[in-house]
Structure 1
Amino acid sequence: MSKIFERMQKRQFTRKQKSKLEVALIYLILAVMFLIIFYPLFWAFAISMNTTSNLYTASLSPENWSLDNYVWLFTNPRSDYLLWYRNTLFVSTIVTVVTTLLVSFTAYAFSRYRFRGRTYGLYAFLLLQMFPVLMAMVALYILLNTIGLLDNLWGLILIYIGGNIPMNAFLVKGYLDTLPKSLDESAKMDGAGHFRIFFQILLPLAKPILSVVALFNFMAPFMDFILPRIVLRSPENFTLALGLYNFVNAQFSNNFSRFAAGAVLIAIPIATVYLLLQKYLISGLAAGATKG
């Protein structure tokens, strides 16, 4: 009996050692990931607090922390930062609302109805996802020039909406396919129409995936540089990514500290939208069905 007891103790000790090693390995991986993510953020914030504008003379631990770069962005008459911020918020808001609405209707149609051309439409969505927007830049440029929306924020919005629908619609359609069709049938037996089923039953259950779509579409205009660079020409129409580029070219004497300050402030609206949608982003299908 004593030998059996000793063996059981050894096994328990070995299991404890393995569990401790696994936990230590997990924490090590998380620490490495945190450093990889945190270092660029800290670098940008530290550079933005420097008084020098040169990237090579700026310090990651400046002796005198200063908010001069942030003050300059909002108060200097030569700064168009607020205008660029307003343009970007306008584009992001319109793109997010319209794309989410169109994607939800499109995904609902492909998920719940059987109609002629449905299969070919799904194949078209798959094909459109395989080709990047850059391949169509020349065609988009000619199209916007033809309809008079070149160097116009509405032209940029049109391209964003059209380019986001295929991938997002296919994504939301896959999510709606997991929702039981018995919900639709029960609602129809109670006299509900198609729009009522969509808005009162399926849409609340699809909030998690629609929140992801809304967040990604809201972030895109803040991060994109190439498309605004091709479409927009006038400084008063610039978005943030295009406007901040002027801080690191020859015209503005390579002012990296102001560029870093402007880049740090981009995180504010994105973080705000993320916090507003957080409960939907982390909620699952089961939680949504229970609340519905």
Structure 2
Amino acid sequence: MESITQLFDSLWRDYSQRLCPSAVQIQQLLTEDVALLNDHIALRSFGLPKCGLAVIAAPFIALGYQPQAKYHFRAKKLYAESFIHSNPLLPKVFISELQLAGCSAELQQMIRTLLDQVDDAYFRQPDFVYSGRPWQLDFATYQFLAAESEYAAWVAAHGFGANHFTVNINQLEQFSDLEAVNHLLRHNQFVINQAGGEIKGNAEVMLEQSATMADVVGVSFRDGIHKISGGFYEFAKRYPQTNGELYSGFVTASANKIFESTDRE
């Protein structure tokens, strides 16, 4: 079994090379005297037994992660859970899945057809969570899925991997608030997710978040390479609870808007 360090190193390598190449530049912009702390990563999947949330979570649970909280995003037909490790320096893990029962019969059939290309044993290998897309599809299928669910189209096109990493702003000294981070990013030509405002959340809910809009990356389809939304980089500032410890959960309303970082224009 690979170690926790190896797992997150592999997830970062896949994310920064395949899904969000701009993350490397952003990391360089924000790194101070020590390496950046990663607040959390997020992964996506389809709500089917073959590859659902529990299957995605398995490699993390095997390395000591425990369930933290559950979240529902009914308008987007998504269910999610967060996971946390006893080591506070390790990132939280946020895993979501598309609830297919709420989608059209056509979309459900397309997703099942994609998954039929993959043997069940594939999803029992821990490295599948950073191994990309194990099925083939044409661009027309992607477009059909995107018309109903941007989330479904994203997973169909990219497969498995972290759709975002998250800089822990509490660690930084030069940039102590998200306004300053967003200003720096805009100055360096990065586009900030405006859904629900540049900064989602506030001190009252004990969590503030912002994010770049997803990189546009070339993806290979059966009928050629097409440029589509890939991954994005997120930034989180956490506030202390009454016991003095930083809030460690997620805010559904804010996360709902963060999902839109991969929306097509």
TM-score (norm 2): 0.29
Please state which structure has a larger fraction of its residues in strand. 2
Please state which structure has a larger fraction of its residues in helix. 1
- Greater C-alpha radius of gyration: 1
